[in-house]
Structure 1
């Protein structure tokens, strides 16, 4: 299982980015969560198969139809919590 944290910047709040993230994660069989950060970025934790995580990362570089993604920072995450679904906060 691969587990990463994505910090996505650009026009990613107020454009349904988190909801589209949830749909994409569900499509790929990934679990974790997406939440808005106070500075306008979106934080996403993903866990699942390596290929599916890589596909999500590639998708996140474009994002939702109305978003404008400037940067996607990808960090490996070593935490041991297990998520059973993908939540939006």
Structure 2
């Protein structure tokens, strides 16, 4: 967060490993992102990981990244890799196939 409480817009590209497919990880991540006014997308990868991109105020993106380390109740998160990138102006949040 920047001085004065104003959040700069940031982008985080995330890869989550563990038991994260077939446990509502994408749907709950979308819900959590929307509740925080974070834009982006989430999808399953063929190797069993989940990939997501989050764009929004720094504090909100940090909150959704914290959520990614836990996920929904049935998930088991073994690792989260985060790459910070320049925001691209994404609007809305979607589950990609």
Match of 2:17, SS?
strand
1:11 to 4, 8, 19: 19
In the TM superposition, what is the alpha-carbon distance from 1:61 to its structure 2 partner? 0.5
Whether the aligned pair in 1 keeps the contact of 2:14 and 2:83 (CA below 8 Å) is yes
- Structure label with greater radius of gyration: 2
Q: Which residue of 2 aligns with 1:22?
A: 30
Q: TM-score, normalising length from structure 2?
A: 0.87
Q: Which residue of 2 aligns with 1:51?
A: 59
Q: State the alpha-carbon separation in 2 of the partners of residues 3 and 78 from structure 1.
A: 6
* Deviations, residues 36-87 of structure 1 (Å, cap 9, x unaligned): 000000000000000000011111100011100000001012363x221110
Unpaired runs of at least 5, structure 1: none
Q: CA-atom RMSD, angstroms?
A: 0.9
Unpaired runs of at least 5, structure 2: 1-8
Q: State the alpha-carbon separation in 2 of the partners of residues 35 and 18 from structure 1.
A: 7
Q: TM-score, normalising length from structure 1?
A: 0.95
CA 1:52–1:79: 2 relative to 1, 3 Å: closer
What is the count of residue pairs matched by the alignment? Answer: 88
Q: State the alpha-carbon separation in 1 of the partners of residues 24 and 70 from structure 2.
A: 13
